Amino acid sequence: MCIRDRIATECVGHHGLHLNCYGLVVETIRDPAVERGGPLLVTDLWNTSFPILRYAIGDLGVREDAPCPCGSELPRLLEVTGRTADVFINSRGQKSPGVAFTNRILTESREIRAMQIIQHQLRRFEILAVPGAGFDDATAGRLTARLDEFMGEANDVDLRLVDAIPREPSGKVLFCRNAMSGGGS
């Protein structure tokens, strides 16, 4: 990969990631739903055939414009804090980032290789799960119980076992999706 194609490279002093300001404009947008940092937007100045302006790449980050202790004047990303994702809403109006639940389950459970959770209505979810070794009825019961615990209420959950999680038209796989009218992101 050519250096001009990179968004950021690691600081030699390990003080974050220096942004490639010679070919890109990288912005963070303040989002009240994000505790630290915000969504990253990228404008590619090298692409003359099809300009991409303020493209939301799906990452969240914390930007720092002060000079770096390493001596570089380039702005930095102090950290990449996560990915943007839809939020789930319970019947009391409380919002929870769906990806937090999905990541927690996948790191704690070897019986599930991949999954996607879709909220269709308040208290109505669909879980697409790619089963791993040892997946059984008890695993399915624990999964739906954990979703109820995460949402703080009992839910109607339709668990479907699938061979793979379907990709979006962009080619990405979403861990969670709020399909209620008006969405949840």
Provide the whole-model pTM: 0.60
Give the helix/strand (H/E) hosting 178.
strand 176-178
pLDDT tens for the chain, 185 residues: list them.
233 347 888 999 999 999 998 888 999 888 766 667 788 889 988 888 887 889 888 777 889 999 999 999 999 999 877 666 788 899 998 888 777 777 777 777 889 998 999 999 999 999 999 999 999 999 999 999 999 999 999 999 999 999 999 987 767 778 888 898 555 44
pLDDT on residue 74: 93
Q: What are phi and psi of 147, to 5 degrees?
A: -65, -45
Closest-CA residue to 109 (of 139, 130, 138)? 139
45 token code pair: 């100045």
Residue 17 CA to residue 62 CA, distance in Å, equals 10
Q: Which long-range contacts (CB under 8 A, 24 or more apart) does 121-125 make?
A: 121/180, 122/89, 122/90, 122/91, 122/180, 123/90, 123/91, 123/151, 123/153, 123/154, 123/155, 123/156, 124/155, 124/156, 125/88, 125/155, 125/156, 125/157, 125/158
pLDDT on residue 47: 80
pLDDT on residue 3: 32
Q: Which amino acid is at 5?
A: D
- Cβ neighbours for 47, distance < 8 A, ≥ 6 positions apart: none
Residue 155 CA to residue 124 CA, distance in Å, equals 6
Q: Decide: 159 and 144 in contact? Cβ < 8 Å.
A: yes
88 token code pair: 């789930």
